[in-house]
Amino acid sequence: MAITALLPNEAATRALGQALAAVLGPGDLLALVGPLGAGKTTLVQGLADALDLPPDVPVQSPTFTVCNEYPTRVPLLHVDLYRLDGLDEAEDIGLPERFTDGVTLAVVEWADRVPELIPQHALWLRLDHATGGRRVTLAEGGGADVSWALTMPGPGKGETWTETDDWTPWAC
């Protein structure tokens, strides 16, 4: 199953990131998909905030550095695959080990660029530009149940989650 909702403003995207801190922990991976400017980094800012990132530490797309690590209460690794040159480069910098070390919570922007790098247990989240804000679609790798997410306080006031078939992240 996959579910979708409208996020009417930046605050709603941040709130969804904050809500995800309650369900993601050490060893988990959040795979983010979506075009330029869709709100991926905004979501990570909310997540990092809820994980007690010190306010003076910026959360920015690690587009050129590939990885940022944050001093959050769960070690948060923020990865951007936009400029990564395939699986070989990912292996050179040790990403597969970090994604399966059981300690790190990894969040990966542009996860669909190197899908073979993303472990089976990943939670996939897509953001798209939409009339009235951004559309979020959430699915677990392999099509597992995400009904727990229906209770998340992510969408803005008056917005609700609905089920959708329009999502096959593991086949990107």
Site residues, ligand ATP (CB under 6 A): 7, 9-10, 12-13, 34, 36-42, 61, 109, 133-134
CA angle 7, 10, 12 (to 5 degrees): 45
Compute CA distances 162 → 4, 79, 132, 136, 165, whole Å: 5, 29, 17, 11, 10
By C-beta, is 11 or 144 nearer to ligand ATP?
Answer: 11
- Picked from Mg ion, ligand ATP, none, the partner binding residue 34 (CB below 5 to 8 A depending on kind) is ligand ATP
Strand, helix or coil at 16?
helix
By C-beta, is 40 or 113 nearer to ligand ATP?
Answer: 40
Shortest distance, CB of residue 6 to ligand ATP, whole angstroms? 8
Build a one-symbol-per-residue string for 53-72: x at contacts with Mg ion by CB under 5 A, - elsewhere: --------x-----------
Asked whether the beta carbons of 137 and 42 are under 8 A apart, the reply is no
Asked whether the beta carbons of 3 and 150 are under 8 A apart, the reply is yes
Strand, helix or coil at 94?
coil
Q: Does residue 45 interact with Mg ion by CB under 5 A?
A: no
Which residue in 13, 18, 41, 68 binds Mg ion (CB under 5 A)? 41
Which residue in 40, 98, 134, 135 binds Mg ion (CB under 5 A)? 40
Compute CA distances 118 → 61, 69, 125, 160, whole Å: 19, 18, 13, 28
By C-beta, is 124 or 161 nearer to Mg ion?
Answer: 124
